[in-house]
Chains A and B, each alone.
Chain A
């Protein structure tokens, strides 16, 4: 991919050089222009990190690493801590994966291995379309369908059966960690199904056929020969889903209850980093309040970078392995 300088042929008729003919020899110019635009991409990323870092300096200096372990969120004492939000973010994402991974990978296996190609393609097309549905629409649906469902059926059922564990105590509000986890799971299905299915389809036929030739049942061939081969890609899809779930704002903030406290019970209300920023940023008048929110944004940013990085590595590793 070397930038070779091309020789521009002299104009045959000796006519005055137009704008275009002058550029014909301008590969250097083209190189510089494209380089400039590519640098803009880098500049944006650097600026984002800079802004987040600078605008959270007050909070970072005041709270330091204690920010991560403090449960305070007191505007009057001007004492802020990140723990309830980190807890809520991680818990809701974990719940989302808990529902989405078994169901999603199971569906991906079905679509890749068992379904006739026409049905598989049609269903996958539909599922992929759903990945494009905006978050606020999931939130709108969740408020009027999922929350009443949780409050009137699911949570009371959980309370009566599993209420002896600390996980299912407290009133059934409908809104809370469980509702947020459920809506995130629904939003994560399309990613896991789509990417896992691709990974499974990438597995060479020989793997499957070899297992079947050795007398394996279809399930055994799938589970023991195909899936391990696609393991990295599937894990990559899980990480991608996780990264999305961590940063989800609107759907979560509409159903989580917005309470900056840590609770063991899944039925209680909580808060996530993205939700608290969405709810409180516009009103943050004191500097320490605003900078604490930006500190939280920085934490979330770093978290999603790490997870996204891991996902990309896994997916790269799969494609390398698949092509070997």
Chain B
């Protein structure tokens, strides 16, 4: 009986004793747009400082939702939080831009060797279902010399509440009046046609596996998976692909954040660019977590930014870094 008691107590102690580990563990959730860079950041931060930030990419909608419920320590979103949403949160969130990224039209069409060119209107028509075949005259006009097949276009979009969808539809609303009136800009647009999947990962996965499909994903997802993505015509009339230079150029046009930088002016601005944000509660009760999060934010603004370009995200403009460093003090 005595031995059994000792073994039993040891088991219980072992189970619960692990709770008392000195490491700080933080839980975060949100946007899939920056997931590759966040994943890199959090693993580097852990090796350097020993603090574990467990980030789950569930989409901007999920990030805001879980932050409101209080089940995560901070959230991440590519779209701005509305006043109604802030009202439901326990404490007003402090918003930190983290990286700049671009959303690209990625497609899976066999037999095409050159990159395709798209205009905003053409893209809107594709996602509205007005343009249904790859060899539609509008697409052929934009892409002379490209052997477009006589195949149906399979549209792929997000099934979950997505900041990426928000930015994409924000852009489409700016360049296509039909899009603006029929669908508009929001995180869960009522796409008239198309298949859907969860996360940037899901859309990329579906496009990669479905011949004849087109979807919108963050640049890194297309690059990492060697998927073809097209050039977009920007506000100045130039066709360019999303890359560090063009995305940074768009980012430089932002004055205060959060801001929409889609269809930004400038000869070299990529038209579907976006900042993405971390939503940090302004009041964090747990002292250890608060210290760790503030530590991460200062790390992110300096050391973290050095990892951006390796994963095709642009660095934050210096002025924004400076203002955010002051913003950290607002977390108490």
B195 to A76, Cβ gap below 8 A? no
Interfacial residues of chain B within 181-219, with CB under 8 A of chain A in the complex: 184, 186-188, 190, 194-198, 206, 209-212
B61 to A283, Cβ gap below 8 A? yes
Chain A residues with CB under 8 Å of B194's CB are 259
* Contact sample, A vs B, 27 pairs, CB 8 Å cutoff: A74-B190, A75-B161, A143-B209, A148-B209, A151-B211, A171-B154, A173-B154, A174-B210, A175-B195, A175-B206, A257-B196, A258-B159, A258-B197, A258-B198, A259-B194, A269-B196, A279-B159, A279-B160, A279-B198, A282-B29, A282-B58, A282-B65, A282-B66, A283-B61, A283-B160, A284-B65, A285-B88
A147 to B209, Cβ gap below 8 A? yes
Tally inter-chain residue pairs, CB-CB below 8 A: 63
Chain A residues with CB under 8 Å of B251's CB are none
Expressed in whole angstroms, the Cα–Cα distance for A283 and B69 within the complex equals 10
Chain B residues with CB under 8 Å of A285's CB are 61, 64-65, 68, 85, 88, 161
Interface of A (DSSP majority class) = loop
Chain A residues with CB under 8 Å of B160's CB are 279-280, 283
Residue of A nearest to B29 (CB): A282
B195 to A259, Cβ gap below 8 A? yes
Chain B residues with CB under 8 Å of A75's CB are 161, 186-188
How many chain B residues touch A (CB < 8 A): the figure is 31
Interface bits A272-306 vs B (CB < 8 Å: 1, else 0): 00000001101111000000000000000000000
Q: A76-B184, A259-B194, A280-B161 are in contact. List 20 more A-B contacts (CB 8 A).
A: A75-B187, A76-B188, A143-B209, A148-B209, A151-B210, A171-B154, A173-B154, A175-B210, A257-B195, A257-B196, A258-B159, A259-B195, A269-B195, A269-B196, A280-B159, A283-B59, A283-B65, A285-B65, A285-B68, A285-B161
Residue of A nearest to B162 (CB): A283
B152 contacts the other chain (CB 8 A):
yes
| Chain B interface residues toward A at CB < 8 A | 29, 58-59, 61-62, 64-66, 68, 85, 88, 152, 154, 159-161, 184, 186-188, 190, 194-198, 206, 209-212
Chain A residues with CB under 8 Å of B190's CB are 74, 76
Residue of A nearest to B132 (CB): A171
Distance to closest chain B CB from A148 (angstroms): 8
Q: Which 9 pairs from chain A and chain B are nearest by CB? A: A285-B65, A283-B61, A283-B62, A258-B196, A258-B159, A75-B188, A171-B152, A257-B195, A283-B161
Interfacial residues of chain A within 247-279, with CB under 8 A of chain B in the complex: 257-259, 269, 279
**Which of B85, B186, B195 is within 8 Å of A173, CB to CB?**
B195
Expressed in whole angstroms, the Cα–Cα distance for A280 and B88 within the complex equals 19
Expressed in whole angstroms, the Cα–Cα distance for A256 and B152 within the complex equals 19
Chain A residues with CB under 8 Å of B161's CB are 75, 280, 283, 285
A258 to B195, Cβ gap below 8 A? yes
Distance to closest chain B CB from A3 (angstroms): 29
Expressed in whole angstroms, the Cα–Cα distance for A280 and B196 within the complex equals 12
Expressed in whole angstroms, the Cα–Cα distance for A174 and B206 within the complex equals 11
Chain B residues with CB under 8 Å of A175's CB are 195, 206, 210
Distance to closest chain A CB from B87 (angstroms): 12
